[in-house]
Structure 1
Amino acid sequence: MNAYIFALLLLWGEIVVSQIPLPGSCPDIPPFKNLNLEKYPGNWYEVEKYFFALEASGTCISVNYTANHDGTLNTQIRFTESVSGNKIAFPGKTIFLDPDTAGSGKTGNMQLTLSIINPYYLQTEVQKTYIYKLIDTDYVNYAIKWSCLPLMGVHFESVWILARDVTYPPEVKKLVRDSLAKSKIDTSFLQPSTC
């Protein structure tokens, strides 16, 4: 991959953060309520997802959250680059977009800002910001993240299913599918992640 291709990928990611085009505007999917910042942090592995162009060259994608005293999360995205086998890590920070009102806890409306460094040209660093929703988690087995971007009469969705391990058992997959059905998220676009 050269710098030109890397720049094009970043531009494409800026235009269409989410990858599956669907007709109409973004559905109104509520975020997870009363997020427990003592239980949610830690390491999560991507188990399933909608195709996401910026992750196309990586396998064994994981995210590690560490809670900060100010209510934000230090975030590190890690993956293995498919061609070279190099392990890559992008540091970032997750903030919560809804205020914690009356002690009711955080909601899953989140914004992640990553420092993305081109692994082939280390001098190329770009700050990328992504807005998404955590729509469900049981803190132990799974977390479901969803993103949507409206654009000219269609919308582009992404879904990421995370687990505390690289796979999850059938009973957890059923919980995830039930949660996705409740939010009316199409599971036919889900692809298994590899690790």
Structure 2
Amino acid sequence: MAVIRTFLLVCFALLVSACTGVPKGIEPVKGLNVDRYLGTWYEIARLDHSFEDGLSRVSAEYELQDDGSIKVTNRGYDAEAGDWSVADGRAVFVDGPDTGHLKVSFFGPFYSSYIVFGLDEAGYEYAYVTGYNRDYLWFLSRTPDVSAEALANFRERARAEGFNLDQLILVDQSPVPGQ
């Protein structure tokens, strides 16, 4: 019985750690300034997933907590429901606060990777983010609109890093009518 329990614990640990790893070949940014990264980011483009299905006007708010973790508040507008969807989570640094590799949880003890692999280090205006594999990709900006050049730079970098952009969604950031 102890062998089975140990085996199950090892399998569970491997599963959980796989979700907080870094895709092969992706390098998290170094020299991250947490204070400059905090605040509001708008989702410009993404590879879609069920947890964001149908959402537009998506933004994320990052707020430093007393324990060094980051409170994450994601918001997106669900036009079909005519309402805002809000998810609160918690992120912690994996390799220290100066490296863009965090693990984030919206569901209790279960974490997944949040990896900043590209960042406008001069102005902290743009960030390229992935998860534990290349099925997850986001282009974030401090403003809801970006230039064609900024979007082209993102696409070029994402392709160079091995992301398949066939299913890339450009997120509608226009104001919600009537609000």
Give the TM-score category using the shorter length: 0.7 to 0.9
Structure 2's unaligned 5+ residue stretches are 1-14, 174-179
Which residue does 1:10 correspond to in 2?
Answer: none
- Following the alignment from structure 1 to structure 2, what is the Cα–Cα distance between the partners of residues 181 and 136? 13
For residues 164-190 of structure 1, the C-alpha deviation after alignment (integer angstroms, 9 at most, x for no partner) is: 122211232233234324433333332
Instruction: Tell me if 1:63 matches 2:60.
Output: yes
1:164 pairs, out of 122, 126, 142, with 142
Residue 148 of structure 1 is matched in structure 2 by 132
Q: Over residues 98-117 of structure 1, what are the superposed CA-to-partner deviations in whole Å (9 max), with x where a residue is unaligned? A: 13xxxxx52111111115xx
**Are positions 1:97 and 2:94 aligned together?**
yes
Per the alignment, in what secondary structure is the counterpart of residue 39 of structure 1? helix
Select which of 26, 33, 36 maps to 2:33: 36
Structure 1: give runs of 5+ residues left out of the alignment: 1-13, 19-25, 100-104, 116-125, 150-155
Q: Say what the alpha-carbon RMSD is for the aligned residues.
A: 2.5
Q: Which structure has greater strand proportion?
A: 1
Q: Hey, which of these two has a bigger chunk of helix by percent?
A: 2
Conservation of the 8 A alpha-carbon contact between 2:112 and 2:132: no
Q: Specify the structure having the higher radius of gyration (Cα).
A: 2
Q: Which residue of 2 aligns with 1:132?
A: 114
TM-score by length of 1: 0.67
Counterpart pick for 2:101 among 109, 128, 132: 109
Aligned length: 151
Q: TM-score, normalised by structure 2?
A: 0.73
Give 2:170's aligned amino acid.
Answer: P
Identity of paired residues, percent?
21
82-91 or 172-181, which moves further after superposition?
Answer: 172-181
